[in-house]
Amino acid sequence: MHLSKTVTLISTSNQFDVLSVDNATAQARISLYGGHILSFMPKSDQRERLWLSEKAVLNGSKAIRGGIPICWPWFGDNTFSKATNGTLPAHGYVRNQTWHVISCEEIADTTKICLKPESAMGSGLTGTADLLLSITIGHTLNVELTTTNIGTKAFTFGGALHSYFAVTDIMQTQLTGLSGEYLDRPTNMSSKQTPVTYLFEQETDRVHLNPVENTQIVTPEFTFNVQSFGHDSLVVWNPWIDKSVALGDMSVDGYKTMVCVETAVTQGITLTPNQQHKLLQVIA
């Protein structure tokens, strides 16, 4: 079903609905389950920017492995809410919801789609929020998550645009642009310094506390540019072999062709009533 000149809604049995975008500058696919971008390919180079696990579960029974999961209103298991009983879902609850199309429009040679989750309210969020995802598909992919406090009391939230990038070989991939301290999950969040030459030789799960704007994923074939705005940190993740084997929705060698660079709020942002925050990642 055509939603606009460049957006088609594709419904198939036992799979979630997908928006297929095809405009003059790029193609993209967005799952309404999770408000989850699955694919982005500019027509200028026909190179797919995003990695999607070949074992991703696509029936809406669990979060999709790959693409750009929308983590909100917290990152990881840090809910900023003392009232939790420890059984809250990792990375918040909106990536497991059906999202609804608010608008589709063509602006010059780009397509802008706005989506909202079924409900922004849930256990673990101690306030009343509105959540809007705005996706602009053009020469770049612009992913903007807007949180608005529509209640009468302040609340603290977190989240991440948890982007999986498709690389040819993680062993020949390096990051540039990051600097300063990071918290290293494999060593119990110990504080370490960002390496000058950022290579991948083991499980890598790092919260970089210096919220630089420009990060590059450099491979022999291509350099991805990732711009971040509204973040308090950047997360870098590659599960490496053991975690790849342990993850049921990832092939045993899946780690070899992906890297996550996530525009994130891991330290928490507090919004007073009527205040708004925008988290934006721009992928080129």
Report d(CA 96, CA 70) in Å as an integer: 9
Shortest reach from residue 47's CB to ligand TA6, in Å: 24
b/e per residue 214-234 (b: at least 16 CB within 10 A): ebbbbbeeeebebbbebbbbb
Instruction: Give the residues across from 183 on adjacent strands.
Output: 191, 207
Shortest reach from residue 148's CB to ligand TA6, in Å: 25
Shortest reach from residue 235's CB to ligand TA6, in Å: 5
Cis peptide before 73 (omega within 30 of 0): yes
- Closer CB to ligand TA6, 76 or 268, in the complex: 76
Contact 264, 160 (CB under 8 A): yes
- Closer CB to ligand TA6, 63 or 141, in the complex: 63
Shortest reach from residue 105's CB to ligand TA6, in Å: 31
Contact 24, 15 (CB under 8 A): no
Chain residues binding ligand TA6 by CB under 6 A are 63, 76, 90-91, 162, 185, 205, 235, 237, 260, 262
- Closer CB to ligand TA6, 29 or 95, in the complex: 95
- Closer CB to ligand TA6, 243 or 277, in the complex: 243
- Closer CB to ligand TA6, 116 or 185, in the complex: 185
Tell me if residue 78 falls in helix, strand or coil. Answer: strand
Shortest reach from residue 26's CB to ligand TA6, in Å: 25
Burial of 48 from C-beta contacts in 10 A (0-12 / 13-18 / 19+): middle
Report d(CA 29, CA 161) in Å as an integer: 16
- Name the residue number minimizing CB distance to ligand TA6: 237
